[in-house]
Structures are given as C-alpha cells and as structure tokens.
Amino acid sequence: MNLEKNTNYGTISVSADAIANLAGGVITECYGVVGMASQQVLRDGWTELLKKENFSRGVVVKQGDNGLIVDLYIIVSFGVKISAVGEEAQKKVKYVLEKTLSLDVEKVNIFVQGVRIVE
C-alpha cells in the first residue's frame, strides 16, 4: 500500500513501510515504552523485542474510510500505568504522523504484548 499525494510539482508517494518506521520511531520515544514487539506472538507466547531496523514488523498501517489506521504492538516498562502510557502514545503518534505526512489519522490502536523490567 502506498499513499499518494498530488501537488503542483508532481506526485508524492509514501510507502507503508516508511509510515511504519516513522510510527515505530515515535512510539519508542514515549515514556514507559520499552520497545516494539512483533505483531505475531511466538509459539510459546513469548514476545520478541524488535531492534530499530525492524520497527515495521511491529506496526500495521491500513487505509480507513477517514484516514490512516495504525496498529502498534509494544512492550511497556514494569511499574507504569499501562492505560496512561497507551493514551499518551496514541496522542503523540497521531500528532507526528498528521504533522509529518499532512494526512488524517483515523485511529491509532495500541496492543501491549508484554511488560519488561528495565534495569
């Protein structure tokens, strides 16, 4: 899926992977988020903590009726209020994507795949 925007100078095409990497980079900067998790939980129920170059595996970007729908799979830090972390992450990702891409973001769905103790 590519998002296209027409301007006076031509067409701008942004791939779903580029959007996923942008969203993944933004969410890992949020307080309480340890990192991205793979959207597919491994066989034994363990989640895999993704590295920077694999952020797009923890993000699903879809086109909705009124804009983008972004699903983010994260791992949060132990001892933080998960609902507060999720709400702030949703706001930040929505803001950055709308500001950067000049497109509407319909939904930002957060899926907490695990909790880790940060040392």
What is the token pair recorded at 83?
């609902």
**Domain assignment of residue 111, given as a range:** 2-116
Strands 68-77 and 59-63: antiparallel
**Cβ atoms 118, 77 nearer than 8 A:** yes
Maximum pairwise Cα distance, the chain: 52
Q: What's the CATH code of the domain at 87?
A: 3.30.70.1350
Radius of gyration of the chain (CA): 15
- CA torsion 100→102→107→109, rounded to 10°? -20
pLDDT tens per residue, range 65-103: 998 999 999 989 999 999 999 999 999 999 999 999 888
* Domain count for the chain: 1
Average pLDDT for the chain: 85
Alpha helical stretches, state H, 1-119: 16-27, 82-101
Give the per-residue pLDDT at 6.
86
Give the per-residue pLDDT at 55.
64
Q: How far apart are CA 101 and CA 104, in angstroms?
A: 8
Beta strands in 1-119 (DSSP E): 2-7, 10-15, 33-36, 59-63, 68-77, 105-116
Give the whole-number percent of the chain exceeding pLDDT 70: 84
Q: Is it the case that residue 2 has pLDDT exceeding 90?
A: no
In this prediction, residue 47 has a pLDDT band, given cuts at 50, 70 and 90, of low
In this prediction, residue 44 has a pLDDT band, given cuts at 50, 70 and 90, of very low
Q: Is it the case that residue 3 has pLDDT exceeding 60?
A: yes
